[in-house]
Amino acid sequence: MSARLLEKYKGQVAPVLTERFGYRNPMAVPKLLKIVISMGIGDAKQESSKLEAAQDQLARIAGQKPVVTKAKKSVSNFKIREGYEVGLKVTLRGARMYELLDRLVSLAIPRVRDFRGLPASGFDGRGNYNMGLVEQTVFPEIDPSAVTFTQGMNIAMVTSAATDEEARELLSQLGMPFRKD
């Protein structure tokens, strides 16, 4: 069984993008390459239980085990030394990536309080989009009663689009609710 959004991309989104931007080669049509979810856990050194809990929650959300990231430099103001475990990240590709995007668009984003659409300022100029979530409980895999601390996360969507306009159209066609500016 393949991902629902992958079928939608092949059947509906790619032809719409080809017609709108006039691609001659089907390989030139922008596609979603990967989604990277990262969490920064500042006080992971003092409370290792926070890191373990966040690791478990991120694994439930993504469907695969996250990688623990370490500090590259020492920062005395933050009381961080080089090599301290300071965060988590997971990179999703293929069917898992489309499954996560489907859950994000259809389940998680509608559960965000006072949501008025995603800002277009999250594009980086090269066709990639970054967005942040304030808490992990918007995902249905996380039981809110079992959460001891709320943790935000950054979600980066890397596309093969050359421009932000192409990437925005791709993500809009896949169901991302952007603000009407």
CATH number of 100's domain: 3.30.1440.10
- The answer to whether residue 147 sits within a structural domain is yes
- The answer to whether residue 136 sits within a structural domain is yes
d(CA 168, CA 161): 9
- The answer to whether residue 148 sits within a structural domain is yes
Range of the domain at 156: 4-41+50-66+89-173
pLDDT the model gives residue 45: 62
pLDDT the model gives residue 2: 64
- The answer to whether residue 77 sits within a structural domain is no
| Beta strand residue intervals within the chain, DSSP E | 32-40, 67-70, 85-92, 129-133, 153-159
pLDDT the model gives residue 98: 92
Ranges of residues in the chain whose predicted pLDDT is under 50: 1
Number of structural domains in the chain: 1
d(CA 140, CA 161): 30
Compute CA 140 distance to the chain's CA centroid, rounded to the nearest angstrom: 15
pTM, rounded to two decimals: 0.88
d(CA 101, CA 13): 15
- The answer to whether residue 84 sits within a structural domain is no
pLDDT the model gives residue 30: 94
Letter for the amino acid at 44? A
pLDDT the model gives residue 1: 47
- The answer to whether residue 124 sits within a structural domain is yes
d(CA 134, CA 20): 35
Query: How many Cβ atoms from other residues are within 10 Å of residue 48's Cβ?
Result: 11
pLDDT the model gives residue 5: 87
pLDDT the model gives residue 77: 78
